[in-house]
Structure 1
Amino acid sequence: MTFGQQPQNGNPYYGGNQQYNNVNQQYNNNGQYQQQYQQAPYGGQQYAYATANGPAVMDAQATYSYDQVQQARRVSVTRAYGEMTLGLIVTALVAVLGQNAYYDFLMATGNVGLIGLCIVQVGLAVVLGARIMQMKASTARIMFYVYAALMGFTLSSIFWLFAPQAIGVSLGLCAAFFFVLTMFSLTTKFDMLKLGPILMVGLIVLIIAQLVLFFVPGTTETTRIICAIGLVLFAGMTMYDAQQTRMLFQQYEAQGPEMIKKVSIICALNLYLDFVNMFLYILQLFGSRD
């Protein structure tokens, strides 16, 4: 057994510059076994074992980098859900504080004002989804929170139709339902992204059905059936968007922090819409009208 150059310039275990070069262990009975320690690039330690059958290398730096990537992805997904939560808080505050202002707005503008408000909301969502990659992340964030505030202004009308207790219980049920669906979709091996076309077709059919009911009011049972279908559909959309959020961050993570911020906003918008729609369907199914 021979030993090469020993560590220099300080304690090899505490604070010194530690290097291992040409450290060999050699056995010549039935074959040759060599063990080498080499300093890997970027501060990582590479362990190389060479035997008569060939080399086997394990790079600790690669394992460390993999852990860093996974941690960055978890942080990015958490950021998207954080943006969604802030949007929901803005919506709730505006809905609670803007009840009288919304009533005065409708009295002054009538159906024209209501339709105009809906057009503005849809326009903001479409522009944000279509042009977010061309705008600054700060501009996209402002547009998202403006959209959330307009949604809250519109949803303030639920306080005229439902008891506060029903609204609170429905909100709690929706939050619990949303959390369970998100955890399931992020941990299951089932690929919800494959169901995207089916969910989109279901969404189009649901919109058409609601437009028909708007002009031709149906029975209470018909309304409940539509709400139940909508709840199931947006439960599927929630799981789909949760997995899509993770996929989008993996796709754009190499393009820098600015792109990650943009992806966070568009993912937050998708998740926000899932939550709001589920809440409204739960409220109509289980809420008692005041």
Structure 2
Amino acid sequence: METKYASTTAVNARARQEASTIFLAKVFNWMAGGLALTGIVAWFTANSGLAMKIATSPAFIILILAELGMVFYLSARIEKIQAGTATGLFMAYAVMNGLTLSTIFLAYTRASIGGAFLTTAGMFGAMSVYGMVTKKDLSGMGSFMFMGLIGIIIASVVNIFLGSSTLYWAISGIGVIVFVGLTAYDVQKIKQIGEQGIMQQGGDVVQKGAIIGALALYLDFINLFLMLLRFFGGGRD
């Protein structure tokens, strides 16, 4: 009986691991699609000259506020909205973020942007692997990093009025640490959701779970990229 029980347990463990792997793949595919869409929109917007119009008009603030509203809405309503709606909102968010990010081409050289992107991809990939393979519970670290994120937001708002370069660089350095940590935490959380049986709850639930997971990782990647970009310099004259 013990041998049979052990065998059944091993089979169940493998099944959970396989389901988790499939779910993670869905999440990463949607995240990659969102990043690709953002990059394409940002590139074409910058090259069309529209980026300058966005940067020098109320459109920039409107886009930022719309993006924040969309993130809060998706996070709060993901269980009640349709899977197609969630997917559409995520892709719309990626497009709007591409419009706002097009303005970085006005402030930084393409070499700096490319270097920051490659560094971000490397760090994000390494922490994603860590989040997938570590046996350590990262929930405590996730809570700590979230508090750090709140601190960054408050300090950034304060620095709008202070204009302190020291605080600016401190925020950037802490921001890199925070988003690196959040990447590992979010990947582990998504992996656990996959292990808990989401793949057996129907296509709509799986799709919505993949979208909200992709949004979390997308935000980790974009924010890590923006923090690292500050250190690459290469600002335009």
TM-score (normalizing by structure 2): 0.91
Work out which of the residue numbers 222, 225, 229 in structure 1 matches 2:167: 222
Post-superposition shift, 1:200? 1.8
Work out which of the residue numbers 65, 73, 76 in structure 1 matches 2:23: 76
Work out which of the residue numbers 140, 143, 168 in structure 1 matches 2:86: 140
1:243 aligned residue? 188
Structure whose alpha-carbon radius of gyration is higher: 1
Query: Per the alignment, in what secondary structure is the counterpart of residue 165 of structure 1?
Result: helix
Instruction: Tell me, yes or no, if the aligned pair for 2:21 and 2:194 is still in contact at 8 Å.
Output: no
Post-superposition shift, 1:225? 1.8
Spell out, residue by residue over 1:78-107, the C-alpha distance to the aligned partner (whole angstroms, 9 max, x if none). Answer: 110111011000110010001222322444
Matched AA of 1:218: S
Structure 2 residue 108 is the aligned partner of structure 1 residue 159: no
State the distance in 2 between where 1:202 and 1:63 align: 39
Structure 2 residue 136 is the aligned partner of structure 1 residue 190: yes
Cα RMSD between the aligned structures?
Answer: 1.8
Matched AA of 2:188: Q
2:14 aligned residue? 67
Aligned residues: 232
* Percentage of matched positions with identical amino acids: 31
Post-superposition shift, 1:251? 3.6
Structure 2 residue 53 is the aligned partner of structure 1 residue 104: yes
Segments of 5+ residues of structure 2 without an aligned counterpart are: none
State the distance in 2 between where 1:203 and 1:66 align: 35
State the distance in 2 between where 1:252 and 1:202 align: 31
2:205 aligned residue? 259
Q: By percentage of residues, which structure has more strand?
A: 1
Segments of 5+ residues of structure 1 without an aligned counterpart are: 1-54
Instruction: Tell me, yes or no, if the aligned pair for 1:252 and 1:259 is still in contact at 8 Å.
Output: no
Instruction: Tell me, yes or no, if the aligned pair for 2:54 and 2:103 is still in contact at 8 Å.
Output: no
Post-superposition shift, 1:74? 0.4
Work out which of the residue numbers 157, 171, 174 in structure 1 matches 2:117: 171
Instruction: Tell me, yes or no, if the aligned pair for 1:249 and 1:260 is still in contact at 8 Å.
Output: no
Q: By percentage of residues, which structure has more helix?
A: 2
State the distance in 1 between where 2:211 and 2:115 align: 28
Change beyond 3 A, Cα 1:130–1:90: same
State the distance in 2 between where 1:242 and 1:277 align: 16
Structure 2 residue 51 is the aligned partner of structure 1 residue 92: no
TM-score (normalizing by structure 1): 0.75
Considering Cα pairs closer than 8 Å and 6+ residues apart, tell me whether 1 or 2 has the greater RCO.
2
Instruction: Tell me, yes or no, if the aligned pair for 2:54 and 2:100 is still in contact at 8 Å.
Output: no
State the distance in 1 between where 2:129 and 2:4 align: 33
Post-superposition shift, 1:256? 2.2
Post-superposition shift, 1:161? 0.8
Query: Per the alignment, in what secondary structure is the counterpart of residue 164 of structure 2?
Result: coil
State the distance in 1 between where 2:174 and 2:12 align: 44
Instruction: Tell me, yes or no, if the aligned pair for 1:132 and 1:262 is still in contact at 8 Å.
Output: yes
Spell out, residue by residue over 1:29-65, the C-alpha distance to the aligned partner (whole angstroms, 9 max, x if none). Answer: xxxxxxxxxxxxxxxxxxxxxxxxxx65527666545
State the distance in 1 between where 2:223 and 2:50 align: 23
Change beyond 3 A, Cα 1:249–1:216: same
Change beyond 3 A, Cα 1:156–1:178: same
2:232 aligned residue? 286
Post-superposition shift, 1:272? 0.4
